[in-house]
Amino acid sequence: MIRSPLTLALLSLALSACSPSDPQQQVSRALVDGVLLPSYSSWTEADRQLAASAQAFCAGEQDLSAARQAFLTAQAAWAGLQPLQIGPLAEGNRAWQVQFWPDKKNLVARQVGALLERKPQLTPADLDKSSVVVQGLTAYEYLLFDAGIDLNDPQQSARYCPLMTAIGQHQQALAADVLARWQAADGMAEQLKAFPNARYADAGEAVAELLRTQVNALDGLKKKLGTPLGRQSKGQPQPYQAEAWRSGASLASLAAGLASAEQLWQGSADDGLQQLLGNEHSALGARLDAAYAETRQRLAALQRPLAELLAEDAGRAELNALYDSLSTLHRLHEAELAKALGIQLGFNSHDGD
């Protein structure tokens, strides 16, 4: 069949609409499919397993070691999601429901005790109405790892298991809801792929928010290391201000967050934010690659728990070197990468902390 020039022109337009040539749209789409959705799916699965673990442990079908491992898996999935905390998870107080940190006044321990005094037969509905302090992973970690709690003791298990299972169910439901908001017909994934939409006027706005999220996350990684290191307290180490200090997962969480930030930069197939740098900025791209590699290597070289490193001069020196490496990485994104991409970052969610 012979097609008219008009038909061919319309067909060409349709094909171009299906295969966006806008580099920013291509990067945004690639990051959704290769990085963001897989990470949100992994987090949801980790929380499903956490809820199942709580049920199994409290039914006597799983030992404490396996329950702790399920927590560590969920904690790592959450830590890896934080540089990708865009859209639904950044709204509606959801992130605070996942993890309450920093816990400067040991509110978790105090509020868990107070809640169980009021509600000794706590139900999931009771937890849903409670403070975010007791709804998330920090409270779950407290139950599993605190030195003052022995869940192998039948009396203590009976006391704390209702809360443990309620937190597991709360996390599973929250993660499933967030993932559904991503996967809906007009949900977050679609809004990062097709423009304009209710959230973004064009792909440039979406890329700007992705970079802003990444920059905030890198600043957050600095805070997670700097707070226990004493960077905000005149050099006096604060080991109990570390993220996940009870389980000893502080450095593992830091590594998971760093890996996700690097995924945004590189993409799953070299199709991340780095693709938006033109040839004139190749030197900046190389410096960013080198900064990620250095920070990864410094983190991997720390073979002992954070608390042990904080307790001695040599360990603190290693941690300070890692902090400086994170600072360089953060600065490269916040100043140089943003400028090269023509992005105004604006407000930093960690300002004023």
Greater confidence (122 vs 353) lies with 122
**Mean pLDDT along residues 316-332:** 98
Return d(Cα 38, Cα 330) in angstroms, integer. Answer: 24
Q: For residue 35, what is the DSSP state? A: I
pLDDT at 232: 78
Q: Are 297 and 287 in contact (CB under 8 A)?
A: no
CB 220 within 8 A of CB 352: no
Give the Cα separation of 322 and 113 in Å (integer).
Answer: 37
Q: Any long-range contacts for 152-160 (C-beta under 8 Å, 24+ apart)? A: 152/64, 157/58, 159/116, 159/120, 160/116
- What are the structural domain ranges in the chain? 22-191, 203-341
Task: Tell me the three state secondary structure of residue 311.
Answer: coil
Q: How far is CA 69 from CA 50, 63, 64, 223, 283, in A?
A: 9, 10, 9, 26, 42
Token couple for 150 = 């022995």
Residue 1 has pLDDT above 50, yes or no: no
* Spatial separation of the C-alpha atoms in residues 226 and 214, rounded to whole Å: 18
CATH number of 22-191: 1.20.1420.20
pLDDT (tens digit per residue) in 242-255: 999 999 999 999 99
pLDDT recorded at residue 20: 54
Chain mean pLDDT for the chain:
93
Contact 175, 44 (CB under 8 A): yes
Q: How far apart are CA 44 and CA 81, in angstroms?
A: 11
What average pLDDT does this structure show over 131-157?
97
Query: What is the pLDDT, as a whole number, of residue 14?
Result: 41
Residue 32 to residue 195: CA distance in whole angstroms: 14
Give the model confidence (pLDDT) of 181-193 as tens digits: 999 999 999 999 9
User: What does the alpha-carbon distance between residue 2 and residue 64 come to, in Å, rounded to a whole number?
Assistant: 72
Residue 35 has pLDDT above 70, yes or no: yes
- How far, rounded to the nearest angstrom, does the alpha carbon of residue 144 sit from its chain's CA centroid? 21
Q: How far apart are CA 320 and CA 129, in angstroms?
A: 41
pLDDT in tens, 56-88: 999 999 999 999 999 999 999 999 999 999 999
Asked if residue 349 has pLDDT above 50, the reply is no
pLDDT score recorded for residue 233:
76
147-160 per-residue burial string, b: 16 or more CB within 10 A, e: under 16:
eebebeeeeebebb
Considering the entire predicted model, what is its pTM? Answer: 0.91
Give the residue-averaged pLDDT of 207-226.
Answer: 97
The proportion of the chain whose per-residue pLDDT surpasses 70, expressed as a percent, equals: 92
